[in-house]
């Protein structure tokens, strides 16, 4: 009761840091910290690139970008506190920062889905709202249960204090299982809308990459749950918990990467244009353009029929996302013979756009 470090210990425990344990050699803790730092650097790099793309390149940041920045802050705090704990024997990893980081990452996905799909797909709006309520209640529950695991709270780090505690391992495993459920809900949520899109090959690859990373994040979440089960059956929790902390860091940073990928398109496009511009200038030299010889049949006007119902509504999506309007019909007429080749039929509510196409080629003298 008269411990002079009691107040400091109480404040530390509220952040998820437990009583320091003297340790001269802690290879498991040091290894967990090194892996977590490496993962944190990669995850933060992706987040910073996305924030640069959203704030600087397209200058259209949204709520999802703010949530992602907050999630990065909590994930970084998680890694920093792991280092502090490892220096003192790596006690229970910082579950509070872990849960808060995951909550803001999930909010990032939901805000992003709302911006992309809610206006064009009214039914999707209701589904996103329901998912948001579920994620909010789950996240609130995990934070409250973590803070008030014991009554009084001090009993969390002082087992000798009279009071009651929930079964710590049961709480952790339940939270981990619900986290996996919410992961799959968020990954599968946009699938029905995405199936209706006819995307170019490179955009399909981008979508596949995002969902592959999301699936890998779910796999890491499952591995973390398995490590928690192992910790639950161990007689040395602080020793076994190092592997759980490593899986937690991996899950957090994989989630950050997955949330950042959809917003990197404008940045990658700018880099690509810059590289192509440099390559073009280096290869052109003193080239002079001249009219080209006809190759095949010269094209006359091209009629494009765009379905008005597929035209994106105002603010339906910003210019850094995959386009929702992905279907059109074209009819090209060969200039010389006046014949036409149809690639679709014009329907009511469609707009016909005539486009003249000319071709030139450059040759070096």
In this predicted structure, the answer to whether residue 356 has a pLDDT above a threshold of 50 is: yes
In this predicted structure, the answer to whether residue 110 has a pLDDT above a threshold of 60 is: yes
Range in 118-122, 153-157, 189-193 with the lowest mean pLDDT? 118-122
- Cβ atoms of 120 and 316 within 8 Å: the answer is yes
Range in 133-147, 233-247, 346-360 with the lowest mean pLDDT? 346-360
> Stretch 248-265: mean pLDDT, rounded?
89
> Stretch 165-191: mean pLDDT, rounded?
87
pLDDT of residue 191: 81
pLDDT of residue 352: 52
> Stretch 248-276: mean pLDDT, rounded?
86
More confident residue, 244 or 302: 244
Q: Quick one: residue 357, left, alpha or beta (phi over 0 = left, psi -120 to 50 = alpha)?
A: beta
Q: What's the whole-model pTM score? A: 0.68
Name the pLDDT band for 8 (thresholds 50, 70, 90).
Answer: very low
Say how far apart CA 310 and CA 329 lie, in whole Å: 12
Most confident of 4-13, 119-128, 184-193: 184-193
Q: What is the 3-state secondary structure (H, E, C) of 72-112?
A: HHHHHHHHHHHHHHHCCCCCCCCHHHHHHHHHHHHHHHHHH
In this predicted structure, the answer to whether residue 300 has a pLDDT above a threshold of 80 is: no
Query: Could you tell me which residues come within 8 angstroms of residue 350 by beta carbon, excluding any fewer than 6 positions away?
Result: 305, 306, 307, 308, 329
pLDDT of residue 363: 52
Output the CA angle 87-89-95, nearest 5 degrees: 95
In this predicted structure, the answer to whether residue 26 has a pLDDT above a threshold of 80 is: no
Report the chain's C-alpha Rg in angstroms.
Answer: 28
CATH 1.20.1070 location in the chain: 8-19+27-267
Range in 88-97, 184-193, 203-212 with the lowest mean pLDDT? 88-97
Query: Could you tell me which residues come within 8 angstroms of residue 308 by beta carbon, excluding any fewer than 6 positions away?
Result: 349, 350, 351
What is the average pLDDT value for the chain, to the nearest integer?
Answer: 72
> Stretch 131-153: mean pLDDT, rounded?
90
Task: Report the percent of the chain where pLDDT is more than 70.
Answer: 64
pLDDT of residue 289: 44
Task: Report the percent of the chain where pLDDT is more than 90.
Answer: 20
pLDDT of residue 246: 87
Residue 245: CA count within 13 A, CB half-sphere:
34
pLDDT of residue 277: 66
- Cβ atoms of 285 and 75 within 8 Å: the answer is no
Say how far apart CA 41 and CA 98 lie, in whole Å: 16
150: β partners: 165
Name the pLDDT band for 3 (thresholds 50, 70, 90).
Answer: very low
pLDDT tens across 329-350, in order? 444 444 444 444 444 455 554 4
pLDDT tens across 278-293, in order? 655 555 554 444 444 4
pLDDT of residue 322: 47
pLDDT of residue 6: 41
In this predicted structure, the answer to whether residue 46 has a pLDDT above a threshold of 90 is: yes
More confident residue, 122 or 281: 122
Name the pLDDT band for 32 (thresholds 50, 70, 90).
Answer: confident
pLDDT of residue 124: 83
In this predicted structure, the answer to whether residue 19 has a pLDDT above a threshold of 50 is: no
More confident residue, 81 or 298: 81
pLDDT of residue 309: 44
* 8-19+27-267: CATH number: 1.20.1070
Query: Could you tell me which residues come within 8 angstroms of residue 318 by beta carbon, excluding any fewer than 6 positions away?
Result: 58, 60, 62, 115
For 117, the enclosing helix (H) or strand (E) is helix 95-117
pLDDT tens across 57-100, in order? 888 888 899 999 999 999 999 988 888 777 765 444 478 889 99
């Amino acid at each position: 009761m008269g411990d002079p470090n009691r107040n400091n210990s109480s404040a530390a425990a509220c952040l998820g840091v437990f009583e320091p344990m003297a340790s001269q050699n802690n290879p498991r803790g040091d290894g967990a910290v090194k892996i977590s730092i490496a993962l944190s650097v990669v995850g933060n790099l992706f987040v910073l690139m996305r924030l640069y793309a959203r704030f600087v390149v397209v200058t259209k940041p949204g709520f999802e970008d703010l949530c992602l920045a907050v999630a990065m802050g909590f994930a970084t705090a998680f890694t920093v506190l792991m280092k502090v704990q490892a220096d003192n024997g790596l006690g229970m990893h910082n579950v509070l920062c872990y849960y808060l980081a995951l909550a803001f990452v999930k909010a990032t996905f939901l805000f992003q889905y709302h911006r992309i799909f809610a206006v064009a797909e009214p039914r999707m709006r209701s589904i996103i709202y329901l998912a948001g309520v579920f994620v909010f209640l789950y996240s609130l529950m995990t934070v409250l249960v973590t803070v008030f695991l014991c009554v009084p709270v001090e009993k969390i780090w002082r087992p000798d204090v009279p009071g009651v505690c929930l079964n710590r391992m049961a709480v952790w495993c339940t939270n981990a299982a619900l986290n996996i459920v919410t992961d799959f809900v968020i990954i599968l949520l946009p699938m029905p809308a995405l199936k209706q899109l006819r995307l170019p090959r490179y955009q399909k690859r981008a979508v596949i990459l995002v969902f592959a990373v999301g699936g890998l994040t779910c796999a890491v979440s499952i591995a973390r749950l398995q490590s928690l089960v192992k910790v639950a059956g161990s007689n040395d929790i602080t020793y076994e918990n190092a592997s759980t902390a490593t899986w937690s860091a991996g899950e957090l940073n994989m989630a950050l990467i997955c949330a950042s990928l959809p917003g990197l398109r404008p940045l990658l496009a700018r880099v690509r244009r810059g590289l192509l511009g440099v390559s073009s200038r280096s290869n052109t030299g003193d080239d002079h353009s001249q009219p080209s010889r006809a190759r095949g049949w010269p094209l006359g006007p091209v009629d494009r029929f765009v379905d008005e119902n597929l035209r994106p509504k105002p603010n339906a999506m910003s210019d850094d996302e995959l386009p929702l309007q992905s279907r059109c019909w074209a009819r090209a007429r060969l200039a010389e013979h006046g014949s036409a080749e149809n690639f679709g039929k014009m329907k009511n509510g469609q707009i016909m756009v005539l486009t003249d196409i000319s071709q030139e080629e450059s040759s070096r003298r």
